[in-house]
Amino acid sequence: MEFEFEVQGGDFSNAGQASSRIKKILKQLNVDPKTIKRTVVALYEGEVNIVAHAWKGKIKVDIETEKIKARLSDEGPGIANIDQAMRDGYSTASEEVREMGFGAGMGLSNMKKNSDEMEIHSEVSQGTTVMIVNYL
Ligand X SMILES: Nc1ncnc2c1ncn2[C@@H]1O[C@H](COP(=O)(O)OP(=O)(O)OP(=O)(O)O)[C@@H](O)[C@H]1O
Residues that bind other proteins (CB under 8 A): 12-13, 15-16, 19-20, 23, 33, 37, 40-41, 44-45, 48, 100-102, 104-107, 110
Out of other proteins, Mg ion, ligand X, none, what residue 85 binds, judged by CB under 5 to 8 A for its kind, is: ligand X
Which parts of 6-45 interact with ligand X (CB under 6 A)? 45
Choose which of 36, 74, 115, 132 interacts with ligand X (CB under 6 A).
Answer: 74
Note whether 118 and 131 are within 8 A (CB).
yes
Q: Please say which residue, 27 or 123, places its beta carbon nearer to other proteins.
A: 27
Distance CA 4, CA 69 (A): 12
Rule CB under 6 A: is residue 104 a binding residue for ligand X? yes
Dihedral sign for Cα 54, 81, 98, 21, please. Answer: positive
Smallest CA-to-CA distance from 51 within 117, 102, 87 is with 102
